[in-house]
């Protein structure tokens, strides 16, 4: 034997067992196809749940990620941006007392009813009120020139990726240069666009100046703020400044860094809102369904081949060899099911993105994670199923 | 040299009150190169004796030495190691349905995978040719006749040059002529290769292939000398 023999001798038994597993699966193509489609089904289930789950987290924080500030004040009782509770504007003035604070920018957030300019259908969007010159909002496609238009009053900028039910605003705007619309019973003019798109909290967004915001939502006033954005002097330590502000300000407000604000919002969707739980549960159920399917397949396969396995034992094959055969089958099913599962998942993601406007993206992380989950699923099913191998008793062979 | 030697070999099924002794202290010896037939009425304990000799069952009482391995008190690993040196022929051929004839035969060589694959297959094909069905190497068992399947099983039992070949009612599923043909074939190959063969049967038509016939009744050997 050559020098590579010892290493080859170590992996060869596993390869030979896997080859037997493959020959056994291949011999009955119809059963193999049924088994593989079971894995494909589980794969799709997990891909969809995971797609929604990650889309939820990604979309939930696009606004927060686009805010150009270092620290944020929120009402202590606020749970999420789309349902934020206002706090007294005086807190921002108090924050200015801290030497590291360079500037405070109030941001107002409220749900306002939009009237579709074509069919008059009413739909709620999330309206931001902010000083147009502050440069707080870094939304994609938000041009400084358009922001300047907001100073005119009763002018808004509109989310071009809002759901189509809001009306063909971008097309109308391109056609006419400005669009007259109705927001919260007030006539407004759409002077420009930006691109956020629907999130799990809202189906569309709009931006207005502070006075316009107060006119659209008359129950809100200058004394209240929903998000207090704070810019620190260059070189200031955000964590240290946050600690200092917490000591300085009354307990009715929370002080969060930008990373803290993003984590806070994600936490809401993951834990407080049932949605995160529901999709997480969906992934678990997908795995469970897959486990049951694969277990059933392997179990009945062992039962049908019990005589052949007992023969192999009589011939001198150890139990470990048969375990490798069954685990080999499980892994072959995992791979054969994952490949079409991935392709179909990609197709479903495309359909979902086009139809329900929630961008589901197939990335490497998700692909690897789902393969790992399918792999674990098949291994667990295999480990449960191999107990059945005990029934293969070579003493029964004669 | 003895291929098989038992002393006071006894076996019970069940525990306590329900326990039934089916082998009562057997003394049996089979010399290397012998072809021995074990006969006796149904239920006399022939199969039980064969499974003990083949290391398929743990020895309870007495001594059982097979190919130099003492099976009394032997653990599973020891019995698995012994089984690799034995060729088994079963009543119902027990070929793997999802493997071709040559793959089935090669399985006996795959247990200790030191032999290169081409050599394994070459030996398997040569053995199939020796049992007269070389042209069926690529056929699946389902497409073969009963006699052809039993020939594949014989090839599988012989291909790894075992020190002992054990068969239990190998002709039970075959018609008389085919049964005699396959057993004559087995006897001829065993003699050519110097193998020891121990066959359990109550088929009187194959008595002529034996060097010696051992008769059993009620768990006891009643006659071990007939030739
Ligand atoms: N696994 C078993 N459990 C209980 N009793 C058994 C078992 N196997 C065989 N026996 C009994 O042991 C006796 C001998 O059986 P066996 O060795 O199969 O005889 P033979 O092969 O000569 O027909 C029979 O009475 C049978 O019922
Ligand atoms: Mg019997």
Summarised one tens digit per residue, pLDDT across range A74-87 is 999 998 888 899 99
Q: Residue A315 is nearest to which of B98, B103, B111, comparing CB atoms? A: B111
Q: Rounded to the nearest whole angstrom, what is the distance from the C-alpha of residue B168 to the centroid of ligand 2?
A: 7
State the ipTM, two decimals: 0.92
Q: Are A146 and A191 in contact (CB under 8 A)?
A: yes
Find, among A199, A126, A198, A201, the residue nearest to A164 by Cα.
Answer: A198
Q: What is the pLDDT of residues A352-389, one digit of tens each?
A: 888 776 778 888 988 999 999 999 989 999 999 888 88
Nearest CA to ligand 1 atom 5: B13
- Residue A183 half-sphere exposure toward CB, CA atoms < 13 A: 30
Nearest CA to ligand 1 atom 4: B13
Q: Beta strands B2-13 and A155-159: pairing type? A: unpaired
- The residues facing B87 across adjacent strands are B165
Strand pairing of B61-66 and B35-39? unpaired
B202-219 pLDDT per residue, tens = 888 888 899 999 999 999
Residue nearest to atom 8 of ligand 1 (CA): B48
Residue A339: DSSP 8-state? H
- Burial class of residue B186 in the structure, from the number of CB atoms within 10 Å of its CB (0-12 exposed, 13-18 middle, 19+ buried): buried
Cβ of residue A14 closer than 8 Å to a chain B Cβ: no
**How confident is the model at residue A2, as a pLDDT?**
46
As a whole number of Å, the CA-based R_g of chain A is 30
A115 vs A187: CA distance, rounded Å: 10
Task: Tell me which residue of A116, A90, A92 sits closest to A103, measured CA to CA.
Answer: A92
Ligand 1 pocket test: which of B47, B202, B216, B220 has the largest number of ligand atoms within 8 Å of its C-beta? B47
Calculate how far, in angstroms, residue B169's C-alpha sits from the geometric centre of ligand 2.
7
pLDDT for the residue A90: 93
Tokens of A100: 């590291």
**Ligand index nearest the alpha carbon of residue B48:** 1
Residue owning tokens 């069954």: A326
Give the ligand 1 atom nearest the CA of B51. Answer: 17
pLDDT beyond 90 at A33: yes
Name the DSSP class of A86.
Answer: P
Q: Where are the domains of chain A?
A: 8-59+274-397, 77-250
Report whether A200 contacts A357 (CB < 8 A). no
Smallest CA–CA separation between B213 and chain A, in Å? 20
Over residues B195-201, mean pLDDT: 94
Q: Is the CB of B6 under 6 A from ligand 1?
A: no
Inter-chain touch A395–B83, beta carbons under 8 Å:
no
Q: Report the CATH number that the domain containing residue B96 is assigned in CATH.
A: 3.40.50.300
Residue B171 lies in a domain: yes
H-type alpha helices, chain A:
5-26, 29-60, 62-65, 90-95, 144-149, 169-176, 210-216, 238-248, 258-267, 274-304, 306-314, 319-356, 364-385
pLDDT above 80: residue B113: no
Cβ atoms of A270 and A119 closer than 8 Å: no
Concatenated DSSP letters for A106-161? EEEEEEEEEEPTTT--EEEEEEEEE-GGG--B--TT--HHHHHHGGGSSEEEEETT
- C-alpha span between A275 and A53 (Å, rounded): 8
Cβ proximity of A242 and A255 under 8 Å? yes
User: And the tokens for A298?
Assistant: 């392997």
Whose tokens are 């685990």? That residue is: A327
DSSP state of B80: H
**Yes or no, beta carbons of A395 and B56 under 8 Å apart:** yes
Would you call B208 helix, strand, or coil by DSSP? helix
Q: What is the mean pLDDT of residues A229-233?
A: 95
Closest CA to B197 of B185, B208, B187, B207: B187
Residues with Cβ within 8 Å of residue A390, at least 6 apart in sequence? none
What percent of chain B shows pLDDT beyond 70?
98
Domain contains B20 = no
Structure-token pair, residue A131: 């000083």
**Is residue B68 domain-resident?**
no
What would the two tokens of residue A1 be? Answer: 């034997």
Does A258 score more than 60 pLDDT?
yes
Q: CB contact, 8 Å: B81 with chain A?
A: yes
Find residue A327's DSSP bridge partners: none
Decide if B141 is inside a domain: yes
Instruction: Work out how many domains chain B is built from and give that number.
Output: 1
- For residue B22, report the distance from its CA to the centre of ligand 1, in Å: 7
What whole-number distance in Å separates Cα of residue A254 and Cα of residue A252?
7
| Tens-digit pLDDT profile for residues A131-180 | 999 999 999 988 888 889 999 989 999 999 999 999 999 999 998 888 89
Minimal Cα–Cα distance from A35 to chain B, Å? 17
Q: Looking at residue B211, what is its pLDDT?
A: 92
| DSSP single-letter state for residue A233 | P
- Domain presence at residue B130: yes
- Considering every ligand atom shown, identify the ligand nearest to the alpha carbon of residue B216 and give its number: 1
Q: Mean pLDDT over all residues of chain A?
A: 89
The answer to whether the beta carbons of residues A97 and A244 sit under 8 Å apart is no
Q: Which residues pair with B36 in a beta bridge?
A: B198, B212
Average pLDDT along chain B:
91
User: Quick check: CB of B43 below 6 Å from ligand 1?
Assistant: yes
Nearest CA in chain B to A392: B56
**Residue B100 domain flag:** yes
> How close B79 gets to chain A, by Cα (Å)?
8
Q: How many CA atoms lie within 13 A of A334 on its CB side?
A: 23
B48 Cβ inside 6 Å of ligand 1: yes
Confidence band, pLDDT 50/70/90 cuts, at residue B91 = confident
Q: Predicted confidence band at A4 (pLDDT cuts at 50, 70, 90)?
A: low
A246 shares contact with chain B (CB less than 8 Å): no
Is the pTM higher than 0.80?
no
Is residue A6 pLDDT above 70, yes or no? no
Could you tell me the residue range of the domain that residue B123 belongs to? 32-56+85-226
Q: Residue B159 domain-assigned?
A: yes
Question: Does some domain include residue B148?
Answer: yes
Q: How far is CA B206 from the centre of its chain?
A: 15
Q: What is the pLDDT of residues A89-110, one digit of tens each?
A: 999 999 999 999 999 999 999 9
Listed range (A42-51, B134-143, B152-161) with the worst mean pLDDT: A42-51
| A292-349 per-position pLDDT tens digit | 988 998 899 899 999 899 999 999 999 899 999 999 999 999 999 999 999 999 999 9
Q: What is the pLDDT of residue A1?
A: 42
The answer to whether the Cα torsion of B102, B103, B104, B110 is positive or negative is: positive
């Amino acid at each position: 034997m050559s020098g590579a023999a010892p290493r080859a001798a170590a992996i060869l038994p596993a390869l030979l067992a896997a080859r037997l597993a493959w020959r056994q699966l291949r011999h009955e193509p119809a059963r193999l196809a049924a088994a593989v489609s079971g894995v494909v089904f589980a794969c799709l289930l997990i891909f969809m749940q995971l797609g929604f789950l990650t889309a939820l987290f990604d979309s939930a924080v696009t606004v927060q990620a686009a805010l150009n500030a270092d620290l944020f004040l929120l009402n202590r009782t606020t749970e999420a941006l789309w349902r934020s509770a206002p706090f007294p504007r005086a807190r921002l003035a108090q924050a200015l007392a801290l030497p590291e604070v360079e500037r405070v920018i109030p941001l107002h957030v409220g749900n306002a009813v939009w009237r579709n300019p074509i069919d008059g259908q009413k739909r709620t969007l999330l309206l931001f009120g902010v000083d147009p010159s502050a440069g707080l909002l870094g939304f994609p496609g938000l041009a400084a020139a358009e922001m300047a238009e907001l100073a005119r009053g009763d002018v808004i900028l509109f989310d071009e990726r809002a759901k189509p039910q809001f009306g063909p605003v971008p097309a109308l705007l391109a056609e006419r240069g400005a669009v007259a619309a109705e927001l919260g019973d007030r006539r407004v003019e759409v002077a420009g666009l930006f691109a956020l798109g629907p999130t799990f909290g809202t189906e569309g967004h709009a931006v207005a100046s502070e006075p316009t915001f107060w006119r659209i939502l008359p129950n809100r006033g200058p004394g209240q703020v929903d998000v207090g954005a704070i810019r620190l002097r260059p070189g200031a330590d955000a964590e240290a400044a946050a600690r200092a502000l917490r000591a300085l300000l009354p307990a009715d407000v929370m002080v969060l860094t930008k990373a803290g604000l993003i984590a806070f919002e994600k936490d809401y969707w993951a834990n407080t809102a049932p949605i995160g739980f529901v999709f997480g549960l969906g992934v678990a159920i997908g795995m469970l369904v897959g486990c049951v399917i694969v277990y059933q397949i392997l179990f009945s396969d062992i039962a049908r081949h019990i005589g052949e396995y007992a023969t192999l034992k009589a011939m001198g094959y150890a139990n470990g060899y048969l375990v490798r055969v069954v685990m080999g089958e499980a892994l072959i099913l995992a791979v054969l099911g994952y490949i079409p599962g991935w392709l179909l998942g990609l197709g479903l993601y495309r359909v979902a993105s086009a139809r329900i406007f929630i961008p589901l993206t197939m990335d490497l992380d998700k692909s690897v994670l789902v393969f790992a989950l399918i792999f674990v699923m098949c291994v667990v099913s295999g480990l449960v199923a191999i107990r059945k191998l005990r029934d293969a008793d070579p003493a029964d062979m004669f | 040299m003895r291929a098989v030697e038992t002393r006071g070999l006894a076996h019970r099924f069940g525990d306590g009150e329900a326990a039934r002794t089916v082998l009562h202290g057997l003394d049996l010896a089979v010399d290397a190169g012998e072809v021995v037939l074990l006969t006796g009425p149904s239920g006399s304990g022939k199969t039980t004796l064969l499974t003990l000799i083949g290391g398929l069952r743990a020895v309870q009482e007495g001594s059982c030495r097979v190919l130099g391995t003492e099976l009394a008190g032997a653990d599973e690993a020891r019995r698995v190691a012994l089984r690799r040196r034995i060729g088994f022929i079963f009543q119902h051929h027990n070929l793997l349905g999802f493997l071709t004839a040559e793959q089935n035969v090669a399985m006996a060589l795959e247990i200790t995978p030191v032999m290169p694959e081409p050599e394994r297959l070459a030996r398997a094909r040569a053995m199939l040719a020796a049992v007269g069905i070389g042209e069926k190497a690529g056929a699946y068992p389902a497409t073969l006749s009963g006699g052809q399947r039993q020939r594949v099983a014989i090839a599988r039992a012989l291909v790894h040059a075992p020190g002992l070949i054990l068969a239990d009612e190998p002709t039970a599923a075959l018609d008389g002529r085919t049964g005699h043909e396959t057993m004559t074939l087995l006897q001829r190959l065993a003699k050519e290769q110097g193998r020891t063969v121990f066959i359990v049967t109550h088929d009187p038509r194959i008595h002529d292939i034996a060097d010696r016939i051992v008769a059993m009744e009620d768990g006891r050997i009643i006659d071990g000398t007939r030739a």
